[in-house]
Amino acid sequence: MKILGINQVPGIIGWMHDSAAAIVVDGKIIATAEEERFNRIRHARGTPRLAINYCLQEAGLKMADLDIIAIANNPYAPIKFLRINLHPINFIRDFVNIIIFRWYKKNLEKESGAKVMFVDHHLAHAASAFYCSGYNQANVLTIDGSGETESFAFFIGENNTLRRVWDIPLGTVFSKKKWNSIGGVYSRLTTFLGLGTHAEGKTMGLASYGTPVYDFSKILNVKKHNDFVIDRRNIEVIYKHLERKSDDLPFTQGQKDLAASLQKALEDSVVNLAREAYNHTKVKNFAFAGGVTLNCNANTRVLLEDFCDQLFIQPAANDGGLALGAALELAARSGDKPNRKLTHAYYGPGFSNEYIAKVLKNTKLQYEYHEDIESVVADLLRAGYIVGWFQGRMEIGPRALGNRSILADPTFEGINDKINKDVKHREVWRPFAPSVAEEDASLYFEGVDKTGESPFMLHTFYVREEFQDTFPAITHVDRSSRIQTVNEQQNKRYHTLLKKMKERCGHAMVLNTSFNDKGEPIVCTPQDAIRCYSSTGIDALAIGNYLLKKG
């Protein structure tokens, strides 16, 4: 079966964001990407036309060739789950959603001749995790701000099927618990602290500077799926005196402690939900998805629990992965057996040396060709250069994984501050992550032994005491580090670069941050990379086998 997955519809419908598309053929992932990478608008909304065109082109297909189009949203979910909200505004919104989605479905069917089907938001999240895990059986937890009617759901994944067991409803007029959104609490405190929208990662980083001294029992305290307190309104009620009203103001210790208290409340809640799932199934394999599961610290708390043997989170765990999940779910229903372990994240556009050369010739920039680009870049990194690294197919998800990355030598003290100030133009306290050769990861980081890998930068481990002074640029204030492990099968060129670094300094590791400036998506094309390189403090750009260098 040839299946196109889509997250989004025309216009701005309620909470939908991170528009994306994916192509799955006979159960195999061919391509997937977010619209933001093409239209350069972060968290893009609306129909992902550019992402759809890319996916079709990568698969060698036209719309008329498709068998199924999977939309990662079900406008009928409030009816399906008997959660019709009779508040006039919400009722009208849900009714309008049905009309728009029906219209969109009819037009897609007319355009393509394919069967168009809706997939529940949290089911699409669950499918994106389970069918990429390679597990025969797993507890699948999806946690985010909101789906159609819930913010959390627990599924049992077995062979090529997913079965919903229970969830946490958002709440309706028939419930006294309004807006039971786990992700909503985290997002609300993020804006309360003046960190912005879609900036939850900043809160996680800030939490490391504080101590969890504040009581969140009336804000976020989930003991079980049917025994919880989730009320973001109480942030303002209880801790109004700690609000940061301008992003120009420095953080007080109280605000740092508030972030730390939120982080602990989230971690405790996620661990409790995972333990409840384990007690139900006695299965020790877990798969996570949803925006909240980008929280590396919470993920690792679960991973290190006795009831968990393995935990898989796919790299586009946020809503950008919904299109992929919807396509995989319908592939499974069609009998295609899509359950394969996702070993890499490189499903976006790639560009040949020939294409890159044509682009470079149209610029006034000087450049050189190097057959052994990995050795040249390793030398530059050891000399203290900040290098843009643009190679192969673009990775999926919000974190650069070695194909659209900005790199530096993590042994250079202060180079992280320089990148924050001169390249990323962001807060100087923001931490950076390392990429490390998989075979060496446990030498430097505690806890990696349990999993052996962390290929998608979705776990936090701690730098071993004897190496904290060795890697100042990637060791956070609490000695934590959100690592990416790399092996040769996943990314041969990137792994080769790490080995070249080891030859020069004894450590197969680089500082790795996303190739973008503040406020823009990760670069997608060579043109994007050249523009970012030219307008920021990046010292050199390795783009395919070509090298550009300033000065």
The answer to whether 130 touches 162, Cβ cutoff 8 Å, is: yes
The answer to whether 312 touches 360, Cβ cutoff 8 Å, is: no
Identify residue 456 by its one-letter amino acid code.
Answer: F
With left for phi above 0 and alpha for psi between -120 and 50, is residue 123 left, alpha or beta? alpha
Q: What element of type H or E holds 313?
A: strand 310-313
CA 156 to chain CA mean position, Å: 22
Select which of 17, 125, 495, 507 is catalytic.
17
Q: What element of type H or E holds 512?
A: strand 509-514
Residues contacting 383, CB < 8 A, separation 6+: none
Residues contacting 491, CB < 8 A, separation 6+: 344, 346, 392, 401, 402, 403
The H-assigned helical ranges of 337-457 are: 353-361, 373-382, 415-418, 441-444, 448-451
Unique residue bearing structure tokens 């979705």: 458
Helices 353-361 & 526-535, crossing angle to 10 degrees? 50
The answer to whether 30 touches 358, Cβ cutoff 8 Å, is: no
User: Is 125 an active-site residue?
Assistant: no
In angstroms, the CA 412 to CA 239 distance is 39
* DSSP structure string for 84-122: ---SHHHHHHHHHHHHHHHHHHHHHHHHH--EEEE--HH
Catalytic residue ranges: 17
